[in-house]
Amino acid sequence: MESLAPQPFDIFEVFSRYSDIMSNSQPSGGKTRLAAFSKSLESRGQSGSTIFDEIGKLMSSLDLSGNSHQFNLIYDFVFFICRGDGQKNLTVNRAIAGWRLVLSGRFRLLCQWCNFVEMHQRNSISEDTWQQLLAFSQCVNEDLEGYDPNGAWPILIDNFVQHMYRINKSSGQHGSTEDFTSADADRQSGISESFSRNNPNF
């Protein structure tokens, strides 16, 4: 008799299947296939912080240095695989953990962004905000040059930029965030750790 036991979770197999769906589907059909695929993964029981260990293994096996398409694919995959069962959005804690993993070395304001989200965002992170942050990280410099206040950015990104402007103004800077990346980042890191201890739900 054929066993009905759920298949074990294999991040490499899951990513391969995800890549196939994204590469061979029209947008509307792709969403339907992804929804069905996501549903099929619920029985595999991969949850909690261990998913980030698995993603780390996957990323270390891929050449992401000069392949923007591959990186964009893995970035979207992180959002897809880190959602809770049946959820459309990411919890704040999971989004931050995902950003710290996948954008490390690629987003000069990553530390400030994650600290800001951790302290100010109480709602979950939508797919649109997740995707728009990648675009923001690629077109806005460390001194925020390239940011268009009239652009169609999510409100969370607009609020972050205004927060950084206030930080720069209060420290006497004019468009630079270099000083903030040291002392202020360390200060906010301590606040973030306290926040995490008081918010055990991941």
The domains of the chain are located at 1-82, 102-202
Neighbours of 199 (CB within 10 A): 12
Mean pLDDT of 92-103: 96
Evaluate whether 180 touches 171 at the Cβ level (below 8 Å): yes
C-alpha–C-alpha distance, residues 117 and 98, integer Å: 13
Question: What is the CATH T-level fold of the domain 102-202, as seen in this structure?
Answer: Recoverin; domain 1 (1.10.238)
125 bridge partner residues: 90
pTM: 0.78
Predicted confidence (pLDDT) per residue in 33-62, tens digit: 888 898 888 766 655 668 999 999 999 999
